[in-house]
Structure 1
Amino acid sequence: MADFNQYTRWEHQMHGVKLPRWDDLPKFDLYMDQVTALINDVLGPLGIDTVTPAMINNYVKHNVIMAPVKKKYQTMQLTDILMISLLKPMFQTDTVRSGIDQITAGDYPKQAYDNFIGQLEDRLHHLGEDQVQPAAQNLNEKLMQVAVDTVVSRLQSEKLLRLIKRPLRKIEKK
């Protein structure tokens, strides 16, 4: 019962999560250490693994995000890193990149990012409640809904697994 109460408290903590919209992100370019600090501060309350400079360098190397200009990252790169960090545990980075490209092909990157973050925040704020999502009007909207559901389900699953994890008995060899 104590574990379930812990889970319920976690759900209530998620109700208060505030994620940055495009306009909330810095209006100036950031160096790598500033980028990792910002991304990790944003994602920390969700319990998502920290982002390292090596990870970001790999995203650049593999053309998952645009290369920095004079070692400085802009808003577009920050939003890409945030999205990749949220979705990478479930999908390969090239699949995440493809999804971002697909969504932004039909919508401005700012609007697409804000829509995703808004939907994610809304789902987190209503964890533990029966919630009916509006019907998607097209495949891009459906893709975004499924991606948000996937992130939320992953967060819930990881929290539940941490709470119910028990030491496993060692099986004796005969």
Structure 2
Amino acid sequence: MDAMTEYERWETNLAKINLPKWDELPNFDLYMDQVVAYVNNLIGSMGLDLVTPAMINNYVKHKAILAPIKKKYQVMHIADILVISLLKATFPIDVIRSGMDQVTLRKYPKQAYDHFVELLMARLRKQPVGDTKAKSINENLMEVAVESVVTKLKAEELLRMMEKTGKPQSIKKVKQ
């Protein structure tokens, strides 16, 4: 199979991924190990870096997410961890948190999260994304964030496939 066919197959598989909307997230409290397993199950199939308990503890320490209540994580925590997991490879954690805060100033967290997931799923499936009329600054920010996730995933996969087919020649120093 040629590289382009393999890449197209990868894109088709990526389009089959389905991230849960807010109401599909666990609506009961989870302990750390349950959160890690749940989030990693979702993002692992996308080829993203898996989360660890240490990462989640750092998110709490640096106020990227709220502290758990009696060591239990709720829907809001899980949604935040998912969004951070999707965006952390392209943006620093403080920028992600700032963006989430800005978006949720104008939308409830549930609406903002659901819209982000809808945009991401549509982009992965190469479907049109909403209305092409004048968009709000919130909408633009969410679309750019989604585009960054998809672009990063595609770039890494293309590079991985290219590296499989051959290594570039090393550059030799020319004597002057």
Q: How many residues align?
A: 171
Consecutive unaligned residues in structure 2, runs of 5 or more: none
Paired position in structure 2 for 1:53? 53
Q: State how far apart, in whole Å, the 2-side matches of 1:134 and 1:11 are.
A: 24
Q: Tell me what 1:134 maps to.
A: 131
- Residues 123 and 129, structure 2, Cα contact 8 Å, conserved in 1: no
Aligned to 1:111: 111
Which residue of the partner structure matches residue 86 of structure 1?
86
Render the CA deviation track for 1:112-158: whole Å, top value 9, x for unaligned. 000000110011012xx8x5763352101110111111111111111
RMSD over equivalenced CA pairs, Å: 1.7
- What is the TM-score when the length of structure 2 is the normalising length? 0.91
- CA deviation map 1:42-63 (0-9, x unaligned): 1112111111111111101111
2:120 maps to: 120
Equivalent residue for 2:65? 65
- Say whether the 8 Å CA contact 1:35–1:78 is kept in structure 2: yes
| Structure 1 unmatched ranges of 5 or more | none
Cα–Cα, structure 1 residues 23 and 132, in superposed 2: closer, same or farther, change >3 Å?
closer
Share of identical aligned residues, percent?
A: 53
Match of 1:101 in 2: 101
State whether structure 2 residue 160 is matched by structure 1 residue 162: yes
Equivalents in 2 of 1:57, 1:92: separation in Å?
16
The CA deviation string for residues 95-117 of structure 1, in whole angstroms up to 9 with x for no partner, is 00000000011000000000000
How far off its partner does 1:172 sit?
Answer: 5.5
Structure 1 residues 65-110: Cα deviation after superposition (integer angstroms, max 9, x where no partner) = 0011111111101010000011111111000000000001100000
Distance in 1 between the 2:66 and 2:39 partners? 17
Aligned pair in 2 of structure 1 residues 167, 109: CA closer, same or farther (>3 Å)? Answer: same
Quote the Cα distance in structure 2 between the aligned partners of 1:38 and 1:75. 12
Task: From 143, 147, 150, give the equivalent of 2:148.
Answer: 150
Q: State the 4+ residue runs in structure 1 displaced beyond 3 angstroms.
A: 168-174
